[in-house]
Chain A
Amino acid sequence: MTITQISVFLENKAGRLWEAAEALKNAGINIRALSLADTSDFGVLRLIVDRPDEAFDALRQKGFSTARTEVLAVEVPDRPGGLADLLRLLTGEKINVEYVYAFAGKKEGNAVVVLRVEEPGQTASVLQRSSSTILTADDIARL
């Protein structure tokens, strides 16, 4: 039920983020969502893209320290409380969220929340029981 997020280690150097974006552009990769975890010394770029395997190879080839990370992409209603309801559910089940980011979905009235959790399988079943829609890799590719 998980999708592949591409994670890139970026040192603190001017233009490095642009170079990563350029590598994706040249490979014809479309970015669905991104988040940048930043410290003063380095950053970790997290990407949801249409074709993760190709994105991974393209970044690797350009010398980027790149990794694949399994995350959950969940549709939530695009209205006040959409995220809060989802997190209340996870908190109730004592599921620890390592990080989260979101983007507006293409489906009218929906947003997509990307979740990184320790136990994706268990989290997926919790979400399914509450009849949330978990997006598949194909869903992301077709967005």
Chain B
Amino acid sequence: MPDRREELEKAGRREIEKLQLDRLRSSLGRAARSPFYRELFASNSFRPGDLVSLSDLGRLPFTVKQDLRDSYPDRMLACPPREVVRMHSSSGTTGTATVVYHTAGDIDRWTGLVVRCLVMAGATADDVFQNMMGYGFFTGGLGLHYGAERLGMMVIPAGGGNTHRQIELFRDFGTTVIHVTPSYALHVSDVFREMGLGPEDFKIKKIIFGAEPYSEGTRSKLEEAYRAQAFNCYGLSEMNGPGVAFECRRSEGMHVWEDSYIVEIIDPASGEALPAGETGEVVFTTLTREAMPLIRYRTRDLAKIYPETACPCGRNFTRISRITGRSDDMLIVKGINLFPSQIEHVLMKTPGVGTNYLIVLDRFENLDRLTVRVEIAPGAFHGDAEEMRRLQALIKHSLREEIMVQAEVELLEPGALPPSQGKAKRVLDKRDV
């Protein structure tokens, strides 16, 4: 199997699958070094050496987000701690975080995958790359940053927000490639238009979109607003981050880097494999990760696999569709993942708050807006407006701490929301992106 990027990307299905089988064997062997998978394999009477074909993978149970939470902080670590060079973490529901570890080799391979994505978009060392995604625990910023540097682009580590500065950077440094969430890109284009600027004032040619689902209509709108070609990038922190799958210039589906991941689509209810073309939950297995292999990880993202693998771009890597939804109740707000239960957790621990609430998502000036409408508890009002303002401010502050997203808080009278019958409707998503 050739190692060079160009040759690997042209590999045929048989070559790809042979490589996958070899790598899956060693990945399972590495996984067995972690307490979590050692126990999981033992309780399923599975030995990594038993694996004869790729379909044997189906004998193993799925790994789910709760397993990562239960393994906090290091029960999934499969290498000596001194080999770990980085961790990424996401705040989970009700405070239990999940952690993903990387060795130097893991970061190196992840960076390599991101380089492939950037090359697929046609980026070169001549480009100026403005990274408008958050840096830090969130993998969107750092993931693309490393890849863009390795490709030799000049990286502007702008991060998210500070819109006028972003636009100034476009102009002053001749930005040609941007990495941004679709909703923020919309907002930025509104702002530069208000400033009397248009695409002719910039050199942006390519936009890499990640971190949140959006529609085909918004894509066209954005391509027009920036006069640039859009590329969808898929990833999740459990699978390193961005760069798991990326769109080729055909703009129809994202190629999954199958030398690094095995992708399956399953029926979220039964767990059974679904044939290509049918939408279900995306499941990934890491093939090369050293610090923390994950086997059959359920992403909760819904998508389908395109039946034909041969692509006019010359690649034979499986293509997945854009993400069309979630099989759980996770919300993506301003590119940040959050669960309604995190909001509930904050509300229910705050004195003076009643039991009924509604999470409303809409868009204001093309930006996601999160409003939490919550009933005050009967007896919480003592005649003082200032006390109510303090309660409102306290909820806002605690939400910000828990979910990292600024929320509007509306206080309602007790009984204002319709009483819950069975499973209460807690989320009203009015966004249309």
Chain A interface (Cβ within 8 Å of chain B)? 5, 7, 9-13, 16, 37, 39, 41-42, 44, 63-69, 98
Contacts and interface: CB of A to CB of B under 8 A. Distances in A.
Contact of B385 (A5, A44, A66): A44
A68 B412 contact: no
A63 B413 contact: yes
A67 B385 contact: no
Range class of the B interface residue count: 20 to 34
Nearest to A9: B381
A68 B383 contact: yes
B414 interface: yes
Most buried by A among B380, B392, B411: B411
Nearest to A13: B416
B17 interface: no
Interface in B350-390: 376, 378, 380-386, 388-389
A11 B416 contact: yes
B415 interface: yes
B344 to A, nearest CB: 20
The 8 A-B residue pairs whose C-beta atoms are closest, nearest first, are A67-B383, A7-B383, A69-B383, A44-B385, A65-B381, A9-B381, A37-B385, A11-B412
A84 to B, nearest CB: 25
A37 B411 CA distance: 15
A42 B382 contact: no
B356 to A, nearest CB: 12
A67 B415 CA distance: 17
Given A9-B388, A44-B388, A63 B383 contact: no
Contacts of A64: 413
Given A9-B381, A44-B385, A69-B383, A63 B414 contact: yes
Contacts of A42: 388, 410-411
Given A7-B384, A11-B411, 7 more contacts: A9-B388, A11-B410, A16-B413, A44-B384, A63-B415, A65-B413, A69-B383
A12 B385 contact: no
Interface of B: 376, 378, 380-386, 388-389, 392, 409-416
Given A41-B392, A65-B376, A65-B378, A11 B413 contact: yes
Nearest to A68: B383
B410 A12 contact: yes
A67 B392 contact: no
B410 A41 contact: yes
Contacts of B416: 11, 13
A13 B376 CA distance: 15
Contacts of B389: 39
Contacts of A63: 413-415
A34 B298 CA distance: 59
B323 to A, nearest CB: 34
Contacts of A98: 386
A12 B389 CA distance: 14
26 contacts: A5-B383, A9-B381, A11-B410, A11-B411, A11-B412, A11-B416, A13-B416, A37-B385, A39-B389, A41-B392, A41-B410, A42-B388, A42-B410, A42-B411, A44-B385, A44-B388, A63-B413, A63-B415, A64-B413, A65-B376, A65-B381, A65-B413, A66-B381, A67-B381, A67-B382, A98-B386
